[in-house]
C-alpha cells in the first residue's frame, strides 16, 4: 500500500486527491490523506448565492482552450452543468482618458489581426497605429534571455500599448504589473512567435490562415463556467472522496524525509504521520515554510515566487442599471487613469443563469498595489470607493447607479495570485532539479506552470503521475 499525503485543499490538491481516489477504486494499492488548514475545501473557489444571483468570490470561469478543468467536470458527472460565455455579446471596454472605449475587433491580446477596426479605433494614437504597421516588418529574433512583458510589448508596439492593453489585461489575470511579469512564463506563445516570425502580427495572421484552410468548426466559447458557480466543482470532488481521508482545520507545519518516506507534522507536540510520498499543493511561500527543513535551497526558491493579493466586490442593481449599462463583458482600467479599480465584469451579460432577468450584477476587481491600498479599510469603505469609481466611469450615463446597490459583498484574497517574475522558468528548472533529488516529493499549485484553474487541475494530476510512475 502506497500512502500519499496531499498538503493543501485548493483545486490543485483536490484534483490530485480525485485522481488518487479513482485509482483506489480501480483497485490500485494507494491511499491518501489531504490536509487543509482552513475549515473549507476548494481554496479560492468560493461561490455565494444572494437574491438569486450566483456571486463568485474567487474565479468566475476558466478559459475553454485549456481542457483540463472541463474534462475534470465531465469525469465528475458535471458535464451538463458546464456553461459557455455569451460570446455574441463579447465586448470589452478600456477606460481611456476617462471614457470607455471598446477594444477593437480582431485584437488577439495586443496583436491586431484586422486592419480596419484597429485603424479606426480611438483606443490608440496614430503613433501607435504606425508602430503596429511597422511591426509587420520585424525580422525573426533569437532572444537568449527572459524579459518583462512590458519590455517585450514596448519593443513591438510602443509604450502606449503596454499602458492601454498589456498591463490591464494581465492585471485581470495575474493581478500583477506587466513590468515585473516574465514574457516567457506568461506569454510563452508570443515569445515563440517572435523567435519564429519576428513580427507578432505576421505570425498571428499566418496562424489564422492555417486555421481557416482546415475544416470549418464553430469556435467554442472563450470562457467556461459551471451553472451553479465554481465552488460546485470543489464540492463535486469532495463528494467523491473518502471522507476519512480529508482533514480540515489541519495546518501542516512541516514535511520532512523520514525512514525512507516522509513525515507530516501539524503542530508542535502532535504525533507526526508517516507517508510514502507527499504532494505539496500550496502557494509558493506556504510550500517554502512547510519544506524549510527538507532543503534550504528548495525552500528559498519556492519562497522567491512572488504572490499578490486581490479583492473582488459583487454589487447587485436593478433593471434600470441593467438596461443602462453598455453591452458586453465589462471594462478594464489602465493604471495611468489613476483609479483604484482595475476591472469590472457585467456578470449578467458574460454568462447565462447568473442573475434573475431583471437584475444587474457587477463584479469589481482590485489587485496588487491597488488592493493593498484599500486592504485595511472596512467592507463599507471599500464598497464606497467602488461605487464612487463606478459612478465616475459609468455614472454620467447611468443615473440609477447612484442608488444603493441591492446587495454588496467584499471578498479579500491575501497572497493568492502567483506573479511569474522575469526568470520564472529558470527558477522552475532549479526547483525541478532539487525536487528530483528527493524521491517521493511532488509539487502542485498555481505557483509553477499556470495560474488558471485548468492549469492547477493539471498540476495536481501531474503530481500524482510523477509519484506513481
Ligand X SMILES: Cc1cc2nc3c(=O)[nH]c(=O)nc-3n(C[C@H](O)[C@H](O)[C@H](O)COP(=O)(O)OP(=O)(O)OC[C@H]3O[C@@H](n4cnc5c(N)ncnc54)[C@H](O)[C@@H]3O)c2cc1C
User: What is d(CA 248, CA 267) in angstroms, rounded to the nearest whole number?
Assistant: 14
Output the smallest distance, CB 136 to ligand X, in A. 32
Does position 153 interact with ligand X (CB under 6 A)? The reply is: no
Output the smallest distance, CB 367 to ligand X, in A. 8
Would you say 162 or 463 has its CB closer to ligand X? 463
Output the smallest distance, CB 231 to ligand X, in A. 11
Q: Is the dihedral of CA 108, 158, 104, 69 positive or negative?
A: positive
Task: Tell me how many degrees the CA angle 159-163-164 measures, rounded to the nearest 5.
Answer: 115
Output the smallest distance, CB 20 to ligand X, in A. 15
Q: Interface residues for ligand X in 263-322 (CB under 6 A)?
A: 281-283, 286, 290, 310, 312
- Binding ligand X (rule: CB under 6 A), the pick from 451, 463, 464, 467 is 451
Per-residue HEC secondary structure of 79-128 comes to HHHEEECCHHHCCEEEEECCEEEECCCCEECCEECCHHHHHHCCCCCHHH
Output the smallest distance, CB 71 to ligand X, in A. 14
Output the smallest distance, CB 176 to ligand X, in A. 12
Does position 370 interact with ligand X (CB under 6 A)? The reply is: no
User: What is d(CA 82, CA 124) in angstroms, rounded to the nearest whole number?
Assistant: 37
Would you say 5 or 132 has its CB closer to ligand X? 5
User: What is d(CA 236, CA 260) in angstroms, rounded to the nearest whole number?
Assistant: 35
Task: Tell me how many degrees the CA angle 437-443-447 measures, rounded to the nearest 5.
Answer: 125
The total number of residues written for the chain in this structure: 469
Does position 112 interact with ligand X (CB under 6 A)? The reply is: no
Does position 158 interact with ligand X (CB under 6 A)? The reply is: no
Does position 390 interact with ligand X (CB under 6 A)? The reply is: no
What is the separation of C-alpha 225 from the centre of its chain, rounded to a whole number of angstroms? 13
Give Cβ neighbours of residue 53 (< 8 Å, ≥ 6 apart): 314, 316, 347, 354, 355, 356, 359, 361
Q: Which of 460, 458, 453, 455 is nearest to 58 (CA)?
A: 453
Q: Which stretch binds ligand X (CB under 6 A): 2-10, 16-24, 154-162, 299-307?
A: 2-10
- Binding ligand X (rule: CB under 6 A), the pick from 18, 32, 43, 118 is 43
Site string for ligand X, 409-448 (x = CB under 6 A): ----x--xx---------------------------xx--
Q: Interface residues for ligand X in 255-274 (CB under 6 A)?
A: none
Task: Tell me how many degrees the CA angle 417-422-425 measures, rounded to the nearest 5.
Answer: 85
- Kindly list the strands in the beta sheet with 261-265, ordered across the sheet, starting from the edge strand earlier in the chain: 254-258, 261-265, 273-275
Q: How many residues bind ligand X (CB under 6 A)?
A: 37
Per CB under 6 A, residues contacting ligand X are 7-13, 35-38, 43-45, 58-62, 251-252, 281-283, 286, 290, 310, 312, 413, 416-417, 445-446, 451-453, 456
Amino acid at each position: 500500500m502506497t500512502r500519499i499525503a496531499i498538503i493543501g485543499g485548493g483545486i490543485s490538491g483536490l484534483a490530485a486527491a480525485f485522481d488518487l481516489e479513482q485509482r483506489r477504486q480501480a483497485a490500485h494499492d494507494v491511499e491518501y490523506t489531504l490536509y487543509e488548514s482552513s475549515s473549507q475545501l476548494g481554496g479560492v473557489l468560493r461561490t455565494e448565492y444572494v437574491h438569486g444571483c450566483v456571486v463568485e468570490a474567487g474565479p468566475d470561469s476558466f478559459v475553454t482552450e485549456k481542457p483540463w478543468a472541463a474534462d475534470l467536470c465531465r469525469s465528475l458527472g458535471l458535464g451538463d452543468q458546464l456553461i459557455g460565455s455569451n460570446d455574441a455579446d463579447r465586448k470589452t471596454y478600456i477606460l481611456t482618458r476617462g471614457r470607455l472605449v471598446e477594444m477593437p475587433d480582431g485584437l488577439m491580446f495586443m496583436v491586431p489581426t484586422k486592419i480596419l477596426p484597429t485603424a479606426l479605433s480611438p483606443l490608440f494614437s496614430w503613433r501607435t497605429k504606425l508602430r503596429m504597421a511597422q511591426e509587420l516588418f520585424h525580422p525573426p529574433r533569437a532572444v537568449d534571455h527572459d524579459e518583462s512583458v512590458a519590455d517585450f510589448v514596448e519593443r513591438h508596439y510602443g509604450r502606449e500599448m503596454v499602458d492601454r492593453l498589456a498591463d490591464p489585461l494581465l492585471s485581470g489575470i495575474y493581478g500583477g504589473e506587466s513590468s515585473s511579469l516574465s514574457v516567457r512564463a506568461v506569454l510563452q506563445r508570443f515569445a515563440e512567435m517572435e523567435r519564429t516570425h519576428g513580427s507578432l502580427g505576421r505570425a498571428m495572421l499566418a496562424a489564422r490562415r492555417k486555421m481557416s484552410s482546415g475544416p470549418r468548426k464553430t469556435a467554442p466559447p472563450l470562457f467556461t463556467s459551471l451553472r451553479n458557480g465554481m465552488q460546485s466543482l470543489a464540492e463535486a470532488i469532495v463528494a467523491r472522496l473518502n471522507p476519512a481521508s480529508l482533514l480540515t482545520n489541519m495546518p501542516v507545519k512541516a514535511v520532512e524525509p523520514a525512514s525512507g518516506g516522509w513525515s507530516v507534522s501539524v503542530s508542535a507536540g502532535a504525533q507526526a504521520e508517516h507517508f510514502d510520498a507527499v504532494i505539496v499543493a500550496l502557494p509558493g511561500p506556504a510550500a517554502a515554510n512547510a519544506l524549510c527543513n527538507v532543503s534550504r535551497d528548495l525552500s528559498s526558491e519556492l519562497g522567491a515566487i512572488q504572490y499578490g493579493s486581490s479583492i473582488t466586490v459583487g454589487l447587485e442593481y436593478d433593471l434600470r442599471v441593467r438596461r443602462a449599462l453598455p453591452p458586453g463583458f465589462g471594462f478594464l482600467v489602465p493604471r495611468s487613469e489613476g483609479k483604484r479599480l482595475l476591472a469590472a465584469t457585467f456578470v449578467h451579460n458574460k454568462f447565462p443563469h447568473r442573475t434573475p432577468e431583471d437584475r444587474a450584477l457587477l463584479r469589481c476587481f482590485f489587485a496588487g498595489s491597488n488592493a493593498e491600498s484599500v486592504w485595511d479599510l472596512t467592507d463599507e469603505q471599500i464598497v464606497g470607493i467602488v461605487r464612487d469609481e463606478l459612478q465616475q466611469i459609468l455614472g454620467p450615463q447611468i443615473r440609477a447607479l447612484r442608488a444603493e446597490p441591492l446587495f454588496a459583498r467584499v471578498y479579500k484574497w491575501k497572497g493568492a495570485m502567483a506573479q511569474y517574475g522575469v526568470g520564472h522558468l529558470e527558477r522552475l528548472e532549479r526547483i525541478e532539479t532539487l525536487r528530483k533529488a528527493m524521491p517521493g516529493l511532488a509539487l502542485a499549485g498555481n505557483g509553477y506552470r499556470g495560474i488558471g484553474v485548468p492549469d492547477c487541475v493539471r498540476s495536481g494530476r501531474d503530481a500524482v503521475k510523477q509519484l506513481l510512475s
